[in-house]
């Protein structure tokens, strides 16, 4: 008989709203750090939004995505609304498929997240191209691929505060 995986045996505590806000703020700071426009850097805000929309669709949704997108547009000085539109569509897709994504393990979850992240980058690219920008080349999508590879480690880190202790306390019923 197959043993359940380690993650399926763990009971998670409810997430605290301040932790969601802190993780989104850290993602925003990572995105706005002056590291240049390196093509290999993932969009940390998109990754964090996607994670929280999958895990907590009732707490993080399209409203949060819109606000984060406007902040990113102002922070980058880019065409107003390109990040907001992309993040809202990403949040919609992640919320819509959240129950399906959570059914799978980390590798298959990342395979579900990849088209959503690439789709968000395609929306931003289409808005830029509509504003007479040049096509940046296919390396533009490397950030989405790297973000997909980071899905499992980021999921592990963001779920750490929710894990219950391994040792059972005899004074607690669960």
Q: What is the pTM of this model?
A: 0.86
**Phi, psi for 100 (deg, rounded to 5):** -70, -45
φ and ψ at residue 12, rounded to 5 degrees: -95, 140
29 three-state secondary structure: helix
pLDDT digit string, tens, across residues 68-96: 999 999 998 888 889 999 999 999 999 99
Which of 2.60.40, 3.40.50, 1.10.1760, 1.20.1280 would CATH assign to domain 14-161? Answer: 1.10.1760
Confidence of residue 39 (pLDDT cuts 50, 70, 90): confident
Q: pLDDT higher for 10 or 84? A: 84
């Amino acid at each position: 008989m197959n043993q359940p995986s380690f993650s399926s045996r763990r009971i998670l505590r409810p997430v605290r709203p301040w932790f969601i806000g802190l993780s989104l703020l850290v993602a925003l700071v990572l995105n706005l750090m002056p590291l240049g426009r390196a093509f290999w850097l993932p969009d940390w805000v998109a990754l964090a939004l996607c994670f929280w929309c999958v895990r907590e669709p009732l707490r993080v949704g399209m409203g949060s995505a819109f606000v984060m997108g406007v902040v990113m547009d102002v922070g980058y000085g880019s065409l107003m609304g390109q990040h907001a539109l992309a993040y809202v569509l990403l949040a919609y897709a992640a919320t819509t498929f959240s129950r399906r994504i959570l059914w799978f393990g980390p590798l298959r979850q990342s395979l579900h997240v990849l088209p959503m992240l690439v789709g968000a980058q395609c929306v931003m690219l289409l808005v830029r191209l509509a504003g007479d920008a040049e096509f940046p080349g296919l390396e533009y999508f490397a950030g989405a691929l790297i973000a997909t590879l980071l899905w499992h480690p980021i999921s592990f880190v963001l779920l750490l505060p929710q894990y219950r202790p391994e040792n059972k306390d005899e004074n607690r019923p669960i």
